[in-house]
Structure 1
Amino acid sequence: MTDPQGSEVFVESRGGILTITINRPAQRNAMTKAASELIADALVRLDDDPDVRVGILTGSGGTFCAGMDMRRFQLGERPVVAGRGFGGLVEAPPRKPLIAAVEGWALGGGFELVLASDLVVAGAGAKFGLPEVKRGLAARAGGIFRAPRLLPRAVAMELLLTGEPITAEIAHGYGLINRVVEDGSAAPVARELAVTIAANAPLAVQASKAFALESRTLTDAEAFERQSAYTDPVFASEDATEGPRAFTERRAPRWTGR
């Protein structure tokens, strides 16, 4: 576990799950350059550590992330990491699944961190918005194109053009959120979801995520043609032998990731 006093990001590895917590509660977890770099390092660890299967991204103090630190922005700081973008995430999401556990506000870049995640668990009081137009800016950390992909066009355009937020209930109704839970329980419920994912074959999970994302713009014919590059290694793996054997022997599988 990484939890140095005063750190802007806490990282904990437990049970195959890496939890990344933005820790600037007094600033509503507004993103800084330092925090972005720490998140980027944690995401590299998520992908490189064979004992880690799933990541959770959350915030401390009842807020997910209120976007970039505007005071730092005025001083010339940009909370981005080369090659990875805002928050060390939006331009290079990890190969392994990442769950956003959201309490309170997820605004601007904070919402764009959510849009770059694979699954979302949110407290009932959470709110999501892209207020950049209210600040003379634009949602260039992925919101300007991911929101229209993941939400109905009219809803996405309203978020982008008015800058007004939507509630967790509304976001859930549009399929943006997997679970809406009691306030304060987003992280524990996200962990329950992560435990379920971590119990599955790691190669199969990673291949499923990778091609699900790549295939979004493909026709069915193109998808069937291209998916073999992702699925053939899965079917040829040791885990593909272990899974059916464990099923027939009525025991839990022992995955090796090979």
Structure 2
Amino acid sequence: MSSGILFETDGHVARVTLDRPKALNSIDPEMDQALFESWTEINTNPDIWVAVLGATGEKAFCAGANVSGGAEGDGRRMALGGGLTGVGGPMLTLRKPLVAAVQGYAIGGGFELAMCADIIVAADNAQFGIPETKVGIIGEAGIMHRAIRQLPHHIAMALILTGDRIDAAQAERYGLVNGVVPYEKLLETAMSWADRIASASPLAVQAAKDAVLSRAGWPLEVALATRYEPIEAYASSQDRHEGRAAFAEKRAAQWSGR
């Protein structure tokens, strides 16, 4: 894996870790490339069923894009977050569930990267912010579009217009995160979420994520009338037959992801 990212697997769970703590885990072009490689491996490896995104160091999850070295203008930057955010280039869709473990500063592009996750666990020292207007820098507005969809309207607008931050307790109250834990319990809690997801049928989980997110912005009647290829493909999978057999035999299912 390229510089600035740690990638490892634990059973069916992949762990992706931002590893530039001295730079507040800000994302440079090499990290973007490494993240792209990570998401690609997760998408294409059938033995990976869920991913956990975390960061090294207690001070910051991610302080956004690293612009100190001119990375924004060197012509090498792909979409921020290895394509996951869709800011600055083509969006990469992660088909497997993603759990984010967030501590310290999650600001700018770091906040946006966290919002790309399906589940967010926050340490009690986490702070979320959109600093663009406060520092007078407005580029692509991906973070604003995500915030207005994931937070109550007036809370999101306050963050966008003032550049102020919200803490972990506020984020939980507004429904942005799934839970707040002491920093020492952050990774353990995120992995617990991943294990719970991995205990379900992986193909059913992926089909459900695809169906929900692909029609999230559409009217209900359109979503109900849509045929979803992953759901239809699941009907003839080994896991569907295993699930039915396990239910009938009153035993735990042994999923294969196939």
TM-score by length of 2: 0.91
Question: Paired residue for 1:22?
Answer: 18
Identify which range, 203-212 or 180-189, moves more after superposition.
180-189
Query: What letter corresponds to residue 156 of structure 1 in structure 2?
Result: A
Give the deviation of 1:77 after TM superposition.
Answer: 4.2
Query: 1: CA distance between counterparts of 2:121 and 2:43?
Result: 21
Tell me the SS of whatever aligns to 2:51: strand
1:66/1:105 contact within 8 Å kept: yes
Give the deviation of 1:221 after TM superposition.
Answer: 1.8
Query: 1: CA distance between counterparts of 2:64 and 2:117?
Result: 15
Change (3 A) 1:53 1:27: same
Match of 2:52 among 53, 56, 76: 56
Question: Paired residue for 1:164?
Answer: 164
Are 2:70 and 1:101 equivalent residues in the alignment? no
Query: 1: CA distance between counterparts of 2:154 and 2:139?
Result: 17
Change (3 A) 1:24 1:77: farther
The equivalences for 1:1-258 within 5 A come to 7-62=3-58, 63-73=60-70, 76-77=73-74, 80-81=77-78, 85-88=79-82, 89-91=84-86, 92-138=92-138, 140=140, 142-258=142-258
Query: What letter corresponds to residue 6 of structure 2 in structure 1?
Result: F
Query: 1: CA distance between counterparts of 2:63 and 2:170?
Result: 19
Query: 1: CA distance between counterparts of 2:34 and 2:55?
Result: 14
Query: 2: CA distance between counterparts of 1:55 and 1:217?
Result: 25
Report the identity percentage: 37
Change (3 A) 1:117 1:78: farther
Change (3 A) 1:70 1:238: same
Query: 1: CA distance between counterparts of 2:227 and 2:109?
Result: 32
Give the deviation of 1:142 after TM superposition.
Answer: 2.1
Deviations 1:193-252 (Å, cap 9, x if unpaired)? Answer: 001111111111111111111222222221111044442222332211210211221222
1:18/1:55 contact within 8 Å kept: yes
Query: 2: CA distance between counterparts of 1:237 and 1:64?
Result: 38
Tell me the SS of whatever aligns to 1:231: helix
Query: What letter corresponds to residue 98 of structure 1 in structure 2?
Result: L
Identify which range, 7-16 or 214-223, moves more after superposition.
214-223
Query: What letter corresponds to residue 59 of structure 1 in structure 2?
Result: A
Structure 1 unpaired stretches of 5+:
none
Deviations 1:89-133 (Å, cap 9, x if unpaired)? Answer: 212241101111001110100001011111100101100001012
Give the deviation of 1:140 after TM superposition.
Answer: 2.6
Structure 2 unpaired stretches of 5+:
87-91
Give the deviation of 1:139 after TM superposition.
Answer: 6.1
Tell me the SS of whatever aligns to 1:203: helix
1:56/1:99 contact within 8 Å kept: yes
Query: What letter corresponds to residue 4 of structure 2 in structure 1?
Result: E
Query: 2: CA distance between counterparts of 1:74 and 1:236?
Result: 47
Query: 2: CA distance between counterparts of 1:144 and 1:122?
Result: 20
